[in-house]
Amino acid sequence: LRAGALLPLIPVVPALAACTQEAGPVEGTPRPLPIPELLEPDMDGDVATFTLTAQTGTSEFVPGTTTATWGFNGAYLGPTLLLRRGQPVRVSVRNELPETTTVHWHGIKLPAAADGGPHQPIEPGDSWSAEFTPDQPAMTGWYHPHPHGNTAQQVYRGLAGLLWLQDDDDAAEAGIPSEYGVDDVPLVVQDKRLAEDGELMDASFGTNVGVLGQTIVVNGQVNPLFEAEREVTRFRLVNGSNTRVYGFRFADGRTFAQIASDGGLLAEPFLTDAVHLSPGERAEIVVRLVPGETAQLISAEPRMGSVADPDDVGARDELAILTVTGPPAAADAGAQEDADADRTVPAVTAPEDLGLPAVLAEVPRHRADDAVETRQFRLQGFQINSRAMSMSRIDFAAPVDQLELWQVVNMDPIPHNFHIHNAQFQVHDVDGAEPPPDLAGWKDTVYVEPQRTTRLLVRFERYTDPEVPYMYHCHLLYHEDEGMMGQFTVVDGPGSGEPSAFESPAP
Ligand code: C2O
Ligand code: CU
């Protein structure tokens, strides 16, 4: 542990947090899992249009208490926007918050001016429109604010929603559960620090990694219950937390299939009993639940935020995420119900046991030999390559349509991850080893464990703009806000590894 490198990072524990007790995990009877509304667009000619309003409100995370929260078109989170590949989209965002925000479309390849990063501010009372045409495989994306220095607070209060990108030509979906909210269920997982009166505690981040709470909120619900209607259910896991890295698994250790990562379907499903997701990452899993049974989705992961407390190293946090029940028993007879109650979960030994096709998608592999440029990103402290994010500095210019090898090194003893805008990349290796199957598909965010190196292959397609930059950053939002972020443009013609000046329209 290199204390010298880290000591300056330990902020003063905010007074608010010091004088209020954090409430523990919520127990008692689970409440139904809310499913975010699936918003179909209004058509304006051939443009699919959506309207989002960022607003304040109150939520009831703990029965009998109220929590001041923020959301889109509601008090917490926002609707799921249904996008179709090749369909032009316009999203108008109105800001009814008391402060400046932006809205970024995480996972979508789109023009820099529509990206919704820190340079597309929306002042209180103003509106902003993003126009883009998604053209990439079906996937679960998400939208969230991205104002520089204030992303963590705004996401923490509840500003986030899903992008449900469909690809109508995608025959691979055949055989995969895909009825929204029925057997294809989004799970936006977040952790909160709630005070005993129910209010969100100051998230000004008492540790080097940012806020870690003991209250898990899924789709805005604490202690949620999902009652499956079918025997095979697809869950789209979205880590919408500021900091926490989850190790999702079922309490009984059952096997399930993972079918997708951030950028869409994997080439083929694989069986596993755990899924690790750092903030911003997504994974889709397919699980069998038999009639009459109850299962617990939990998270068991190494404890974080341990720098201030070395005794914590190696400790594990185990948190309940979701209670799931199997489908209703066949209606015919009580005898059948009794039989079902006794039924043990049949072992899943192959993806076919879940009705999944052997091949899900074509995922052409990038080859390191084809990379024309190599770039190095050293994550240390709150900086990348010893530089903190500056709104007025573009760090480099990448030529359009050129394969690049990005070497991302976590120099720290604490976790980081790495997210690139306007891209779906591939993991080439992790410390020289072939990526495991969950990292073998399209990714836009990747966990970089302490003191490890991940190499990525990335190509920026289509959109060039020598003026407006895209971001790359650690998606632990406290780190991002503190400066672990950089900017690049995508240009026609030769790029440049040299920084250049940028005049941001943001305040
Ligand atoms: Cu999910 Cu730059 O963000
Ligand atoms: Cu980080």
pLDDT tens figures, 225-264: 999 999 999 999 999 999 999 999 999 999 999 999 999 9
Residue 393: predicted pLDDT = 98
Report the separation in Å between the CA atom of 478 and the middle of ligand 2, taken as the mean of its atom positions: 8
Report the separation in Å between the CA atom of 9 and the middle of ligand 1, taken as the mean of its atom positions: 22
Helix (H) or strand (E) holding 106: strand 104-106
The answer to whether residue 244 is domain-embedded is: yes
Report the separation in Å between the CA atom of 497 and the middle of ligand 2, taken as the mean of its atom positions: 23
The residues whose Cβ lies within 5 A of ligand 2, an ion, are 416, 474, 476, 479
The whole-angstrom separation of Cα 61 and Cα 49 is: 31
Question: Which numbered ligand comes closest to the C-alpha of 470?
Answer: 1
The answer to whether residue 60 is domain-embedded is: no
Q: Give residue 4's pLDDT band: very low, low, confident or very high (50, 70, 90).
A: very low
Q: Give residue 211's pLDDT band: very low, low, confident or very high (50, 70, 90).
A: confident
The answer to whether residue 283 is domain-embedded is: yes
CB-based pocket (< 6 A), ligand 1 = 104, 106, 144, 146, 280, 419, 421, 471, 473, 475
Evaluate if residue 3 carries a pLDDT over 80: no
Please give the structure tokens belonging to residue 458.
């990335």
Report the separation in Å between the CA atom of 355 and the middle of ligand 1, taken as the mean of its atom positions: 34
Strands 264-272 and 221-222, by their bridges, are unpaired
The mean pLDDT value of the chain amounts to: 90
Q: Output the CA angle 154-157-161, nearest 5 degrees.
A: 80
Mean pLDDT score, 10-14: 36
Q: What is the 3-class SS of 321-359, one letter each residue?
A: EEEEECCCCCCCCHHHHHHHHHCCCCCCCCHHHHCCCCC
Mean pLDDT score, 315-327: 88
Residue with tokens 């993003």: 130
| Nearest-10 Cα torsion for 296, 302, 306, 309 | 80
Strands 403-410 and 373-380, by their bridges, are parallel
Nearest CA to ligand 1 atom 1: 106
Residue 126: predicted pLDDT = 98
Please give the structure tokens belonging to residue 457.
């292959």
pLDDT in tens, 278-308: 999 999 999 999 999 999 999 987 655 433 4
The answer to whether residue 269 is domain-embedded is: yes
Report the separation in Å between the CA atom of 428 and the middle of ligand 2, taken as the mean of its atom positions: 21
Evaluate if residue 430 carries a pLDDT over 50: yes
Mean pLDDT score, 220-226: 97
Residue with tokens 């341990």: 306
- For residues 67 and 60, the answer to whether their CB atoms sit within 8 Å is yes
Residue 27: predicted pLDDT = 80
Please give the structure tokens belonging to residue 48.
């699919």
The answer to whether residue 376 is domain-embedded is: no
- For residues 447 and 401, the answer to whether their CB atoms sit within 8 Å is no
- For residues 486 and 384, the answer to whether their CB atoms sit within 8 Å is yes
Residue 341: predicted pLDDT = 54
Evaluate if residue 13 carries a pLDDT over 50: no
Please give the structure tokens belonging to residue 428.
């080439």
CATH code assigned at 248: 2.60.40.420
pLDDT in tens, 388-412: 999 999 999 999 999 999 999 999 9
% helix, strand, coil for the chain, step of 5:
10, 40, 45
Listed range (34-43, 156-165, 200-209) with the worst mean pLDDT: 200-209
Residue 1: predicted pLDDT = 32
For the CA of 106, the closest atom of ligand 1 is 1
Greatest C-alpha distance within the chain: 75
Residue 175: predicted pLDDT = 85
Which of 205 and 493 is assigned the larger pLDDT? 493
- Characterise 17 by phi-psi region: left (phi > 0), alpha (psi -120 to 50), beta (else): alpha
Question: Which numbered ligand comes closest to the C-alpha of 484?
Answer: 2
Listed range (110-114, 458-462, 503-507) with the worst mean pLDDT: 503-507
Report the separation in Å between the CA atom of 158 and the middle of ligand 1, taken as the mean of its atom positions: 15
Please give the structure tokens belonging to residue 453.
């190196």
For the CA of 485, the closest atom of ligand 1 is 2
Range of the domain at 189: 184-354
Evaluate if residue 343 carries a pLDDT over 80: no
The answer to whether residue 15 is domain-embedded is: no
Fill in the DSSP letter of residue 157. Answer: H
Any residues with CB less than 8 A from the CB of 4 and at least 6 apart, and which? none
For the CA of 280, the closest atom of ligand 1 is 1
The answer to whether residue 61 is domain-embedded is: no
- Please give the share of the chain, as a percent, with pLDDT higher than 90: 79
| Cα atoms in the Cβ-side hemisphere of radius 13 Å centred on 126 | 12
Question: Which numbered ligand comes closest to the C-alpha of 161?
Answer: 1
For the CA of 472, the closest atom of ligand 1 is 2
Based on its alpha-carbon atoms, the radius of gyration of the chain, rounded to whole angstroms, reads 22
The strands making up 221-222's β-sheet, listed across from edge to edge, are: 221-222, 215-218, 184-192, 232-239, 282-288, 256-261, 264-272
Report the separation in Å between the CA atom of 242 and the middle of ligand 1, taken as the mean of its atom positions: 11
> Domains in the chain: how many in total?
1
Which of 250, 233, 245 minimizes the C-alpha distance to 179? 233
Report the separation in Å between the CA atom of 14 and the middle of ligand 2, taken as the mean of its atom positions: 21
Question: Which numbered ligand comes closest to the C-alpha of 448?
Answer: 2
Question: Which numbered ligand comes closest to the C-alpha of 282?
Answer: 1
Which of 16 and 26 is assigned the larger pLDDT? 26
Mean pLDDT score, 497-503: 94
Mean pLDDT score, 195-205: 81
φ/ψ (deg, to 5) at 310: -60, -20
Residue with tokens 């720098």: 307
Nearest CA to ligand 1 atom 3: 106
The answer to whether residue 431 is domain-embedded is: no
